Amino acid sequence: MASKELKEMINQSIAREIQVSIQYMWQHVLWKGIEGHSVKDEFKKIAVEEMKHAEMMAERLNYLGDIPTTKPTPIFVGTTLKEMIQQDKKDEEGAIELYKKVIETALKENDYVTADLFKKILADEEEHHDVFSSLLEK
C-alpha cells in the first residue's frame, strides 16, 4: 500500500482544497464593485470544484487506510479584489507544485490510481491558475 510520505502529501492536499474552497466561496460572498460583480460567479464555481477535489482525495486516502484531515490550511480572503485574486493565483501555484510531487511519488510506488486522480485534479488546478492569471491582466 501507499507510503506514509504519500499519505501525508494527500492529507496536505485535502487541507489545501478545503482551504481554497472556503476562501473562494467567501470571496464570492464578499466581492465589491463592478469588477467584483464580473468575477463573483467564477469564485463560486471554482470553490465548488475545489470541494469536489477534497472529497475525491479524502475517499482515496480512506481507501489507502488513513484518516482524511478536516482542518484547512490557513485561509486568506483578502480585502480588495486584486488582493484576493493575487492570493488565489499563488494558492493555485502551490497546489500545482504539490500535486506534481504527489503524482511523482505515487508513480514511484506503482500507485497508478492515485497518480491518475491527481493528474485529473492537476489539470483543473492549471485551469484555475489560468483564470486567476487572466483576471490579474485586466
Instruction: Give the domain extent around 15.
Output: 4-137
How wide is the angle at C-alpha 111 spanned by C-alphas 105 and 116, nearest 5°?
90
Whose CA is closest to 16, among 86, 78, 94, 87?
Answer: 94
CATH number at residue 12: 1.20.1260.10
Distance CA 83, CA 77 (A): 8
Domains held by the chain: number: 1
Phi and psi at residue 90, in whole multiples of 5°? -60, -40
Cell 497508478 -> residue: 112
The reported pTM is: 0.94
Give tens-digit pLDDT for 38-86: 788 899 999 999 999 999 999 999 999 999 999 999 999 998 989 999 9
Using one digit for the tens of pLDDT, what is the confidence trace for 90-101? 999 999 999 999
The chain-wide mean pLDDT, for the chain, equals 94
Helix axes 112-137, 81-108, angle to 10 degrees: 160
